[in-house]
Amino acid sequence: MEVILLGATGSIGTSALEVVKKQPDKFRITAISANRNIDSLLKIALEFRVPKVIVTDKNAPGIEKLKELDDAEIFTGIEAAADICATDSAGIVLNAVVGSAGYLPTKRALLSGKTVALANKETMVSYGEVINQILAAGKGRIIPVDSEHSAVFQLLENKKKEELEKIILTASGGPLRNHRDPANATVEEVLRHPTWNMGSKITVDSASLANKGLEVIEAARLFNVDSSKIDVIVHPSSVIHSFVELKDGSIVAQLAHPDMKLPIQYALNYPRRQNRQIKRLSLRDVSPLEFFDPDKEKFPLLSYAYEALDTGGTMPAVFNAVNEEAVSLFLGKKIKFGEINTLVRRTMDLHKAVSAEENAILEADKWARKQILIYSEKT
Ligand SMILES: NC(=O)c1ccc[n+]([C@@H]2O[C@H](COP(=O)([O-])OP(=O)(O)OC[C@H]3O[C@@H](n4cnc5c(N)ncnc54)[C@H](OP(=O)(O)O)[C@@H]3O)[C@@H](O)[C@H]2O)c1
């Protein structure tokens, strides 16, 4: 099976390469991308003998080093990544890009009939309705890679839609769950995640519960349910990746050692199961399993995400875009952690949502980012 791996240099990308390495007879990587990390991209291209290498940031420093790759074609820009997703002979695209930049390649891959193993949750949050129209037209398919959605996908196999009562997404609670003053948490505190080792953007989102909010919207889009069918429960050890409650009162769960290699391996091999690549989960070692309600007052972004989902149209894209920009300011130490909430709230209040056409979403996304620029210039 030929695979395109977008975001190859990231946390998911690295886990995906480990999965592929364990099944050398099954997978061949035909294209990889990174945004700016040329040294890692070069290393991966050489190790996996990748014929197409994409740098999405055309101004990435050190890009000329890629000339070293005698046998590979070099491409630049997210549009090139999208073109390759549309035209390459690969059957599957693993999209592990961070942020809404992941939309275009996903769209083009689906339109060309490919399977997208989707880690990039921002695509479904901002453009979920557009993507669902493509899928409804019978083009391509998505296998979720986000661990919670992979769990729900597995749990809903062979179930009818009317049998579903609730999707219950688990949340680790993040590094600030017991922090006394999260609004003033430092970048270092926020990046110290207790259970998952992930890229910096998703780690910040995990601390603010924006990540769970994004996942609520992602779940609504992937499984075609409204917000009343999705609950969130804090489960600090992260061994239960999610639950599904069925109409007869059964609650079923998917458990595994928290390691993204499992949902990646599952998505790439779907519908087959392969031998375990992750640590075995010993139930004795993880008991007792704990559950708490999320603290929505301390971490309001979860409620804002529900609100964005209920408002619909362009509001989820605004929620996502303003959050992306605010997280980037926080990581650059330009704003306090608590200001992420303020900026999302203020921008959502200013936005007049319209229906979720592609161009309207693009405009809303741009508009939301501009609000942050205006704010950061003022402060
Ligand atoms: N990490 C996890 O455990 C996890 C779990 C579930 C879902 N996810 C989702 O998976 C996605 C990737 O997460 P991650 O943690 O792997 O992120 P990450 O470690 O930050 O890696 C992101 C990847 O995307 C590339 N990239 C960055 N900005 C880009 C842009 N503007 N256009 C195109 N490519 C860009 C990066 O290239 P450079 O290296 O050159 O910057 C890198 O290859 C996110 O949507 C996240 O929410 C992650």
What is the pLDDT confidence band of residue 176, given thresholds at 50, 70 and 90?
A: very high
Its sign, for the CA torsion 46, 48, 53, 59, is negative
More confident residue, 204 or 193: 204
- In this structure, are residues 323 and 205 in contact, taking their beta carbons and an 8 Å threshold? yes
Predicted confidence at residue 373, as pLDDT, reads 87
Q: Confirm or reject: Cβ of 54 under 6 Å from ligand 1.
A: no
pLDDT in tens, 215-249: 999 999 999 999 999 999 999 999 999 999 999 99
CA-CA distance, 11 to 115, in Å (whole number)?
21
The two tokens of residue 149 are 């959605």
Predicted confidence at residue 376, as pLDDT, reads 79
The two tokens of residue 57 are 């940031």
More confident residue, 329 or 376: 329
Residue nearest (by alpha carbon) to ligand 1 atom 2: 198
Determine the average pLDDT of the residues in 354-361: 98
pLDDT in tens, 2-61: 999 999 999 999 999 999 999 999 999 999 999 999 999 999 999 999 999 999 999 999
Before 288, cis peptide (omega within 30)? yes
Output the CA 288–ligand 1 centroid distance in Å: 33
User: Which atom of ligand 1 lies at the shortest distance from residue 147's CA?
Assistant: 6
Please give the domain boundaries of the chain with CATH numbers for all domains: 2-144 (3.40.50.720), 147-180+197-296 (no CATH)
CA-CA distance, 240 to 149, in Å (whole number)?
12
Output the CA 97–ligand 1 centroid distance in Å: 4
In the β-sheet with 52-55, what is the strand arrangement from edge to edge?
73-76, 52-55, 28-34, 2-6, 92-95, 115-118, 141-144
Predicted confidence at residue 193, as pLDDT, reads 78
Q: Confirm or reject: Cβ of 198 under 6 Å from ligand 1.
A: yes
Res 173 pLDDT > 80: yes
For the full predicted model, state whether its pTM sits above 0.85: yes
Question: To the nearest whole number, what is the mean pLDDT of the chain?
Answer: 96
Q: DSSP 3-state assignment of 92?
A: strand
Q: Confirm or reject: Cβ of 37 under 6 Å from ligand 1.
A: yes
CA-CA distance, 75 to 80, in Å (whole number)?
6
Res 204 pLDDT > 80: yes
- In this structure, are residues 24 and 112 in contact, taking their beta carbons and an 8 Å threshold? no
Output the CA 102–ligand 1 centroid distance in Å: 9
What does the angle CA 49 – CA 55 – CA 61 come to, to the nearest 5 degrees? 110
Q: Please choose, from the candidates 193, 198, 90, the residue with its C-alpha nearest in 3D space to the C-alpha of residue 147.
A: 198
Q: Confirm or reject: Cβ of 144 under 6 Å from ligand 1.
A: no
What is the pLDDT confidence band of residue 70, given thresholds at 50, 70 and 90?
A: very high
Outline where DSSP puts E strands in 45-124: 52-55, 73-76, 92-95, 115-118
Q: Please choose, from the candidates 25, 18, 67, the residue with its C-alpha nearest in 3D space to the C-alpha of residue 46.
A: 67
Place of tokens 């999208």: 82
What residues pair up with 292 in beta bridges, in sequence order? Answer: 234
Res 195 pLDDT > 90: no
Percent of the chain clearing pLDDT 70 (strictly above):
100
Output the CA 100–ligand 1 centroid distance in Å: 10
Determine the average pLDDT of the residues in 162-176: 96
User: Which atom of ligand 1 lies at the shortest distance from residue 12's CA?
Assistant: 16
Q: Within 13 Å and on the Cβ side, how many CA atoms surround 24?
A: 4
User: Which atom of ligand 1 lies at the shortest distance from residue 122's CA?
Assistant: 45
Predicted confidence at residue 378, as pLDDT, reads 75
Res 375 pLDDT > 90: no
CA-CA distance, 200 to 333, in Å (whole number)?
13
CA-CA distance, 173 to 157, in Å (whole number)?
28
Predicted confidence at residue 144, as pLDDT, reads 98
Predicted confidence at residue 374, as pLDDT, reads 87
Q: Confirm or reject: Cβ of 121 under 6 Å from ligand 1.
A: yes
Q: DSSP 3-state assignment of 254?
A: strand
Residue nearest (by alpha carbon) to ligand 1 atom 45: 120
- In this structure, are residues 167 and 149 in contact, taking their beta carbons and an 8 Å threshold? no
Q: Confirm or reject: Cβ of 260 under 6 Å from ligand 1.
A: yes
Which residues, other chains included, contact 298 with Cβ-Cβ below 8 Å and sequence gap of 6+? 182
Place of tokens 């969130």: 232
Q: DSSP 3-state assignment of 255?
A: strand
Q: Confirm or reject: Cβ of 215 under 6 Å from ligand 1.
A: no
Q: Confirm or reject: Cβ of 258 under 6 Å from ligand 1.
A: no
